[in-house]
Amino acid sequence: MDNKVVQLGTLISQAKTIRCGTGEYPILSMTMHDGLIFQEDKFKKVVASKDTSDYKVVYRNQLVISFPIDEGVLAAQRITDAGIVSPAYGIWDIDSNQVLPEYLEYALRCERAIDYYKAKLRGSTARRRSLPTPTLLEFTVPLPDIKTQQHILDVIHKTKDIIINQKAELQTLDNLIKARFVEMFNGKGYPEVTVHNVLETAFWLMPATPEFVVDGEIPYITSKNIKNRQIDFDNVKRISRTTFDVISANRPTMIGDILVSMIGTLGQTAVITDDRLFYGQNLYLLRLNDSVIDTDFFCEFFNSNEAQHILQSKRNQSTQAYLKANHVEDLILPFPPLERQKYFAAFVHQVDKSKFAVQKALEKAQLLFDSLMQKYFG
């Protein structure tokens, strides 16, 4: 591959500002992972100010830079001939004779670029820090010929398609479990009980925030890591083994306990399967009476559309929505015989085996994608 490297300032120039005025354009929103999308696709409705006259018009293949730039919120506009974006966004013309707009977008969102932005930001307030324009334009971009750029994009597209398909397969398997739960238990005339009545105990996990270390042995689990009956270890902070041993000496958690997210991923559950984890604030711990209730059945009840709808309707609103203990313990769930619950649990275990295989394939595909980004963009 051509090792030519150029400064960004040789590839882009500030675009002439054109305001929406009385024109009619689709409103575009910036996302961290998907770049620019139509606003109604993001919010299922239009949420922009009713007066969009001051919004900026952005044409196809122009570069839009939002903030904070160190979170990769920038994209080439490739979804409509012309749309409008917030007046706070910066718009740049791309020299398409030198660089394909989508190739440039990947170059400006790669890990090396993010590290550059973070190192060069100016200001003292985290989300108000800015990158001076001359500094932005000094960033260097690998620039092979157009044919090679297109080849790189083709490889990236194929890898992303694999990732998208595997994520869709995981969602299909999750939906299968949900559908099976509805088929077996909804409207079947089973007795009902409250969550409180099937518990041995329940309590808040409200520890003091420990000191985090980059190479810590012990993952620190918070509400954002509780998703769809499992603990998601992406982006977890870590603490040292020594810290864990000291502060967990009197921790009452046990393998088999259920964590309920009370903020963020509201009402999502995960089962504790490892005693070498430390649990942060805003998690509510439930210990079931396993002589009357099965863990998989119980967690899937919380994952059901019915339970999620009830919890979402009960949440308290503040700067961030949250649940209270009684919102969880007062939930009413169907109470079939334990044998029937365990029959459902066996089905869940079989599906989870398939999910495990797909998840491993997804991780390999993501690793391949990351290595390609490193290879192509440094």
48 has a pLDDT exceeding 60? no
Same domain? For 179 and 202 the reply is no
Q: Could you tell me which residues are beta bridge partners of residue 378?
A: none
Domain of 275, in residue numbers: 191-334
Clarify whether residues 17 and 29 are in a common domain: yes
Q: 199 with 327, same domain?
A: yes
Residue-level pLDDT at 70: 87
Q: Give the per-residue pLDDT at 44.
A: 60
Residues 120 and 222 in one domain: no
Q: What is the CATH number of the domain that holds 273?
A: 3.90.220.20
- pLDDT range class, residue 349, cuts 50, 70, 90: very high
Spell 334-344 as b/e; 16+ CB within 10 A means b. bbbeeebbeeb
Q: Tell me the pLDDT band of 25, cut-offs 50, 70 and 90.
A: very high
**Confidence band for 252, pLDDT divided at 50, 70 and 90:** confident
Alpha helices (H) in 89-196, listed in sequence order: 101-109, 111-120, 133-137, 146-185
What pTM did the predictor assign?
0.83
Q: How many CB atoms lie within 10 A of CB 217?
A: 13
Q: From 144, 175, 205, give the residue that closes a domain.
A: 144
- For residue 270, CA distances in Å to 58, 121, 178, 295 come to 44, 38, 16, 10
Average pLDDT estimate for 190-196: 96
Instruction: Answer yes or no: is pLDDT of 46 > 90.
Output: no
Are 295 and 356 in a shared domain? no
* Span 288-334, pLDDT tens digits: 999 999 999 999 999 998 899 998 888 877 667 889 999 999 999 99
pLDDT recorded at residue 1: 55
Whether residue 32 is found in the same domain as residue 54: yes
CA distance 327 to 331: 7
Percent of the chain with pLDDT over 70: 95
CA torsion, points 160, 162, 164, 166, in degrees to nearest 10? Answer: -150
| Mean pLDDT, rounded, for 145-154 | 97
Q: Compute the chain's Rg from CA coordinates.
A: 25
Do 155 and 276 share a structural domain?
no
| Residues 212, 300 within the same domain | yes
| Mean pLDDT, range 208-216, rounded to an integer | 85
Per-residue pLDDT tens over the stretch 75-94: 999 999 999 999 999 999 99
Spatial separation of the C-alpha atoms in residues 300 and 184, rounded to whole Å: 12
Over range 21-35, report the average pLDDT. Answer: 90
Last residue of a domain, one of 89, 114, 144: 144
Instruction: Find the CATH number of the domain harbouring 378.
Output: 1.10.287
Alpha helices (H) in the chain, listed in sequence order: 39-43, 101-109, 111-120, 133-137, 146-185, 241-247, 295-303, 305-314, 325-329, 338-377
263 and 343 part of one domain: no
- Nearest residue to 76 via CA among 58, 52, 98, 54: 58
Is the pLDDT confidence value at 110 over 60?
Answer: yes
Residues 299, 236 share a domain = yes
The kind and range of the H/E element at 220 are: strand 218-221
> What's the pLDDT at 358?
97
Asked if 112 contacts 5 with a C-beta cutoff of 8 angstroms, the reply is no
Q: How many domains does the chain have?
A: 3
| 47: confidence class by pLDDT, cuts 50, 70, 90 | low
As given in the structure block, the two tokens for residue 196 are: 């409180």
Per-residue model confidence (pLDDT) at position 318: 67
Q: How far apart are CA 367 and CA 268, in angstroms?
A: 27
Mean pLDDT of 135-159: 97
Residues 127 and 156 reside in one and the same domain: no
Same domain, 177 and 258: no
Query: In the predicted model, what is the mean pLDDT of the chain?
Result: 91
Of 332, 245, 252, 244, nearest to 285 (Cα)?
A: 252
